Structure 1
Amino acid sequence: GSAINPYSREHPAEFIQTGISTIDGLNTLVRGQKLPLFSGAGLPHNEVALQIARQAKVLGSQEPFGVVFAAMGITHEEARVFMDDFERTGALRRAVLFLNLADDPAVERLITPRMALTAAEYLAYEVGMHILVILTDMTNYAEALRQIGAAREEVPGRRGYPGYTYTDLATMYERAGRIHGRKGSITQIPIMSIPDDDWTHPIADLTGYITEGQIAIARDLHRKGIYPPVDPLPSLSRLMDAGIGKDRTREDHKQVADQLYAAYAEGKDVRGLVAIVGKEALSDRDRKMLEFADRFEQEFIRQGSEEDRTIEQTLEIGWKLLATLDEAWLTKVDRKTLEKYHPAHRPAPPGTERKVPA
């Protein structure tokens, strides 16, 4: 296959539920999008990839959905973990797997993602399925590209990668999308473990130019024992608005996401302030925002590796957290939405007292 002709492209739309709150709620994956996952050495990106592969689904539709999973440069142990997980959970029934081991020839590492995308194109455009392609780890792919380029004595570019690395990556990433007149679609999640957590690394940098956002796996959250350690602040889904809202997820989705993002960002700023002036010097608002940030990480970001949250559950957790803040601070939510969804304004069940979460 080849990159989709821009003239034939249909704009990505429709929500894909991954069951992970930080993705579904704040950085929504949209059908036909390419949304990379930026990670680092020792972080649980493969666990997150497996959870997405198990749980991803298209809501309110009878259209068939499947997963194409391609792993490059992995160890025998990782390959065994991948296969065992797909078989144990039953995800193998709707999945196609391509596994390239670390001791396989480098040229096979270059072929693996292309074979996976060719299989995805057949399933999407010939069979009419909606396919989620997960590619891990693109850093291993790029290392193979550099290795073969050196063997062919090609002129190296940044950090020794071939000068055509951008074009090479684009020929794969641009195979994601939707085509006019075809029922199926291809959505991509390429995963890369960035050396030294350096987002200016050529592979992460070039990937960012081609794709439509990024999901960031954060080392500080991982150190706290929080799984999945997805940091919503540096994460971004540029096509989120095309997949959320009334008749897709829920009408309050955008406003809840904006308010959660703003409140968490303020809470993290307060953490930095505490390190300088101490908690005693904080205002009442600062204390509330600091508490919000802690609870947000423990209740919204943290979830079990087998926990598949619906978008309604994700939004309800968000509202529960926002209810701990003064309503006057919820500037991203309009009054009509506040009165409809805020726990303090909802009618209490018969025979019970209405309580706002503490």
Structure 2
Amino acid sequence: MTSLRSALPLLLLLNLPVLAADPLPSWSEGPSKKQIIEFVQAVTVEGSKDYVNPAERIAVFDNDGTLWTEQPAYFEVLFAFDEVKRLAPRHPEWKTTQPFQAVLENDHQALARSGMDGLLKIIGVTHTGVSTEAFIDNAKNWLKQARHPKTGKPFEQMIYQPMLEMLDYLRSQQFKTYIVSGGDTAFMRAFAEEVYGVPPEQVIGSNFVTRFQLKDGQPQVLRTASLVHNDDGPGKPESIDSVIGRRPILAFGNSDGDLQMLQWTAAGQGKRLMGLVHHTDARREWAYDRNSQVGRLDKALDLAKTQNWTVVDMASEWRRIYPFEPAVQPQVQ
């Protein structure tokens, strides 16, 4: 009878495929996957000319359109609309006051006419005037019951399986992963750790001015109606510099709002990886770029091509979009 000791080498050999498992199984064998893996190997192998100390392995990711779907509208905007409906009984004047009347009546044309000013009014009444803890609770409660208008799935399931794998792969190689997005910081903190494995202190977004106060003898941090930082466009490298204090060596986005973050990452010394998720799959997700009202990708796409940045063709390079979907053969472009 073969002893356990003599069988051990064979067992180790049998386990080799497991140890060498594909870190990005939902990615097809295309240029983006190759570039990502080669980059990670280059900066993590000691003795390599491109080796980067673990403390400096900073990776930053946009959220909307990069880690989860942003169509047919930003999810935080849909949350704000639902919050208006939830709060409406306390504000009977909203029934005849725009843009709140448009939200209550599902009048999309009136909402469009209200423009950015109208949206800011909606964001103001739904995102401020409460403590940070209360706002996060509101967001969590919404996420538990709200459903995506196209798929009927919870919004927390409308996340990109390939990007989840990339986050896990980077962390397994001692990268520190951050979300740097235009969304409200507290809104993203309501789900980022559970959904992406990114803790609250590594979530950076737009912020309102907050005030410490005692309410009924209890300390709280109140969210006021004044926006202190818009974490979009140039606001992204500004917040990275302020909050992280290190220039990333990897950055991923999907729109022109991420351009300056990618430029800031690219300008550092040593090996770098800048990536864009290009929404090219109208069958499984959406196809949009230069003329889109949501997640417009124009200038960043042009620069990516001249600078040899990684541009992920969703249709041809992702075998699976969402975790709840089976893997399929990618489309040939």
Specify the TM-score bucket, using the shorter chain as the normaliser.
0.3 to 0.5
- Higher RCO structure, 1 or 2 (CA under 8 Å, sep 6+): 1
TM superposition score normalised by structure 1: 0.31
TM superposition score normalised by structure 2: 0.32
